[in-house]
Structure 1
Amino acid sequence: MRNFHFKLIIFIILLSFSKTFGQYFMVCQPVEIEKYRGKNFILEGKIFYNSEIKNDSWVVLSALFVDEKGKGMKNTINNDDAQAYYKNGNWSSYQLQGKIEKKAKFIAVGITVAGSGSYHVDDFKLFIQDGKNKIEIPVRNAGFEDASLTPWQAQNIDKDTRLSLANDQYFSGKQSLFVDNSNVKMTPTFGNNKENGKFMDVNGVKLYYEVYGKGEPLLLIHGNNSSMASFNQQIDVLSKKYMVIGLDSRGQGKSSSDDQKLTYELMADDINVFLEKINLKKVNILGWSDGGNIAVILGMEHPDKVKKMAIMGAVLYNNETSVFPEINKILNEQVKEMKKRGVSENDMNYRLKILLLTEPNINPDSLKKIQAPTLVMAGEHDVTPEKHTKLIAEKIPNGKMLIFKGADHEAPSKIPEKFNQAVLDFFE
């Protein structure tokens, strides 16, 4: 009966997980945490990359809450940034933290894997923070020392993925889990489509872009340390009515970088040159997070390039009035940890975090230069206070504010139907 219950939980996890992550897959096991509802958990694990980390090939820690009926609760929780913990050529110590849902009976802990790389995984540990006490919750076969992989289960796995026990590379003990995706044939997806994708030389770097659909041009500008693939919930809907151009900003996605100081002004100029080279003016723009910041600067400095703008979760500057303090606290801790690990200041991941902490620096009154009608969007629980979103909308001559009730900074991926409809209504 216990084994049946376990399989039922895993099946529910698979349904929830596959809808959210598509090609990615998860290796996990459920751990009972009913008596710790409402408390914080800490999941730790060791990961060794056999090849250098890439934007589309990575491993992160994952957790999914399951209620007493075996139903997955909300989305899977993952490390937001695989590179924040990554050590090239050495074991990387990953950590995932969160709060246990009040109706959760189990927490399924493990890893999410993407891309065509190969990895070793070892030494999982799960802790509950109970006041000042840190309680370790047993995870079975946490160091993969048993003769089989039981009770670990793989979900949404490709037929060419190989999972096995390995004794050639381990963090402790004598074995680790070996995850080999090197023989997996990756299905073309938005942001990773060899048949569609092209590169363009712009300001000393190569920008990667893909084009879908026909009609008025609509340019997508993604957020910090991301890629056009973050709009995967938008591409199908938008490309039915527009010629959608997905673009990876410099140093992100498949685009290259150089040693120039990273600024939003530089990335806005990249887009201006890109649009000139493909002979486009008066394009519609959808910008999310950093993409919104870049869009605002493009609209100010190159108004001839922008017809309409829809921006999500943008800011004009970074202080206590524009970004909630806990967000900057997390960023500063990540930067501190990267310095501790000896990460170079030229590392793109490091540079992108510094960018978030120090920029943009836009004078609100300068928004009057924007000629394009602009939809200024944010989630009710976004990283920026609603007053700041309102300030942006009010300072843009033809600006309009929209707050998604109950949503956060990830509204485009978490509530795509509402978000997409709002964007379509505005552009039409």
Structure 2
Amino acid sequence: MKKIISIFCFLIFFFSNSQNKVIVKNWTSYVQAIDVKGKEKWNFRLSAKVKKENDNGNNCGIWCRIDRSDHQQGFFENMYYTTKVTNEWKTYEINGRIDENAQILNVGAFASDNGDFYFDDFKLEINDGKSKKWLALPLKNSGFEESLKIERNWDEGVVAGKNTHSRNFTIETSEKNPFEGKKSLLIKGRNIIGSMAHGKFVDCNGIKLYYETYGEGEPVLMLHGNGQSISAFMNQVEDFSKKYKVIIVDCRERGKSTYDKNVELTFDVQVEDLKQFLDKLNIKKTKILGWSDGGILAILMALKYPDMIDKIACSGANIFPEGIKDDYLKDMRAELTDLIKNNKDYKNDRLIDLYNLDLKYPNLKYEDLKNIQCQSLIIAGDKDEIKTEHTVKIAESIPKGQLAIIPHSSHYVPEEKPDLFNSLVINFFENK
């Protein structure tokens, strides 16, 4: 059996305790938690006034999530993914049902990427399902008239009481044209990759791909995951651009890139997108860093266009759907069924495409991987959504494969442990 190289223990111990408390990501949330015990099976509706400015096409929205007593997630909806907010105050509403065993209903504001995102006049109402009467469930500081620092009823993050700060965002009250009263909530996003002024579009395979470049030197193409965009690599660009020319691209139907509604979203069609993309940029050979679905694309590029690929590093990749852990697959199938069932006005079409992509593809076999010629680093968290044995088998099946399982980490290793992850991949790329 060929040699599999894992992470050195000293590297793990050194970096596992050195992560910054401030999170670097392209989104943030502001949340309030409401006790809904005893209201199981009641209907609820959450509404708020929302608008955006200086957004360059980026979006925001309201969201809510039920936390159950069995520590499982219940109802969840984030309008960011389905509804485009405008530059004028409008009312947006989420309707749902409180799950059995529900304890907490989290309600909040969500903003992504660069822009000024305004929220005002949050309202929460419940109904027992038997009468037509809706009862107000009061939210504290719902119009943001009080100081956010004094009235700590809202928390940054997605879990009330567990505050996490996103470095590129500020959250404050604003007196600039509130919907009512004297103030509204303002979430500002600044200097976030994926919506920078120097970004460009290139025509490829019948669509337009959006990309940004950073640094100089040998090219490194970074490919994001299923529901992500190039801003997923906010924790990587700075370190990698010191040594390489970093090229980050929104894959079709994600971020700012377009898509053809008449063409099924598959990995094969995306591989052809990327081949044409590299040709348009006159890149003859590149290293690829791929995360999740981006790792799948890196593997497929190495198989189909070996002369174009120098090395690949793949985090959280699988080569067939059953490589995903069974409980995650079960949840994905249930969520897809729900999306299809509730696809009024076709608002869920994009999400349905993304779920189908991972539930139907790719369909490689382990023996296919013996044809990968380049050095390949296969990475996963020890608590990844991908089965550990699947990750190990992928690395074993590639002739020049290396394996790194990151302890105390999930599918989001590049975000959770960026210092360790970046050092690991850069050392792999640098090692001749």
TM-score of the superposed pair, with normalisation by structure 1: 0.71
Q: Residues 309 and 17 of structure 1: is their aligned pair in 2 closer, same or farther, counting only changes over 3 Å?
A: closer
* Pair 1:408–1:90, CA change in 2 (3 A): same
Deviations 1:144-188 (A, max 9, x none): 489868664586646785589757xxxxxxx9x96566xx6x533
Q: 1:277 Cα shift?
A: 1.2
Match of 1:280 among 273, 279, 283: 283
Hey, what does 2:139 align to over in structure 1?
A: 141
Q: Deviation per CA, 1:24-82, whole angstroms, max 9, x where unpaired?
A: 5554457799xxxxxxxxx984456668x99831235489x9xxxxxxxxxxxxx7965
Residues 288-315 of structure 1 deviation map (CA, whole Å, 9 limit, x = unaligned): 0000011111110010110000000000
Q: What is the deviation of 1:265?
A: 0.9
Cross-structure match for 1:406: 408
- Cα 1:178–1:353 change in 2 (3 A) is farther
SS of the residue corresponding to residue 19 of structure 1 reads coil
Distance 1:144 1:190 in 2: 31
Pairing 1:306–2:309 present: yes
Matched with 1:296 is 299
**Is the aligned partner of 1:332 residue 2:333?**
yes
Is the Cα contact below 8 Å between 2:63 and 2:94 reproduced in 1?
no
Verify: 1:323 aligned to 2:321, yes or no.
Answer: no
Could you tell me which residue of structure 2 aligns to residue 248 of structure 1?
A: 250
5+ long unaligned stretches in structure 2: 1-18, 37-43, 68-75, 86-90, 127-135, 157-168
Distance across 2 between alignment mates of 1:243 and 1:143: 47
Indicate the structure whose relative CO is greater, using CA pairs within 8 Å and at least 6 residues apart: 2
In structure 2, C-alpha distance between the alignment counterparts of 1:146 and 1:376, rounded to whole Å: 47
User: 2 CA distance for matches of 1:107 and 1:189?
Assistant: 30
- Indicate the SS of the match to 1:220: strand
Aligned residue number for residue 109 of structure 2: 111
Q: Against the structure 1 CA distance between its residues 385 and 28, is the aligned structure 2 distance closer, same or farther, given a 3 Å change threshold?
A: closer
Deviation at 1:324, TM superposition (A): 1.2
Residue in 2 that maps onto 1:363: 365
CA contact (8 A) 2:123 2:138 kept: no
Q: Secondary structure at the match of 1:389?
A: helix
Does 2:187 align with 1:192?
Answer: no
Deviates more, 1:80-89 or 1:199-208: 80-89
Q: For 2:93 and 2:106, locate their aligned partners in 1 and report how far apart those are by CA, in whole Å.
A: 23
Out of 414, 418, 421, the position equivalent to 1:416 is: 418
Q: Within 5 Å, which residues of 2 pair with 1:67-146?
A: 82-83=79-80, 86=83, 91-93=93-95, 110-114=108-112, 115-119=115-119, 122-124=122-124, 141=139, 144=142
Output the amino acid matched with 1:122.
F
1:251 CA drift (Å): 1.0
Contact kept in structure 2, 1:201 and 1:207, CA below 8 Å:
yes
Change over 3 Å in CA distance of 1:86–1:238 after alignment to 2: same
Rounded Cα–Cα distance in structure 1 between residues aligned with 2:413 and 2:366: 25
Which residue does 2:132 correspond to in 1?
A: none
Tell which deviates more after alignment, 140-149 or 252-261.
140-149
Equivalent position of 1:172 in the other structure? none
- Residue 83 of structure 1 deviates from its aligned partner by 4.8
Structure-2 residue corresponding to 1:385: 387
Letter in 1 for 2:210: Y
Q: Percent identity?
A: 28
Q: Is the 8 A contact 1:163 1:179 kept in 2?
A: no
Deviation at 1:116, TM superposition (A): 3.9
Distance 2:354 2:231 in 1: 18
Secondary structure, aligned partner of 2:289: strand
Is the 1:250–1:257 Cα contact (8 Å) retained in structure 2? yes
- Give the match for residue 224 of structure 1: 226
Paired with 1:347 and 1:417, the residues of 2 have a C-alpha distance of: 37
CA RMSD of aligned residues (A): 4.4
Cα distance change of structure 1 residues 397 and 154 upon mapping to structure 2, 3 Å threshold: closer
Q: Which amino acid aligns with 2:350?
A: M
Q: Which runs of 5+ in 1 are unaligned?
A: 1-15, 34-42, 66-78, 101-105, 127-137, 168-174
Q: TM-score, normalised by structure 2?
A: 0.71
Give the aligned length: 364
Q: Which amino acid aligns with 2:395?
A: A
Residue in structure 2 matched with residue 74 of structure 1 by the alignment = none
Q: Is the 8 A contact 1:275 1:281 kept in 2?
A: yes
Please state how far the C-alpha of 1:117 moved relative to its aligned partner.
4.8
Distance 2:24 2:259 in 1: 28
Q: 1:341 to 1:303 in 2, by over 3 A?
A: same
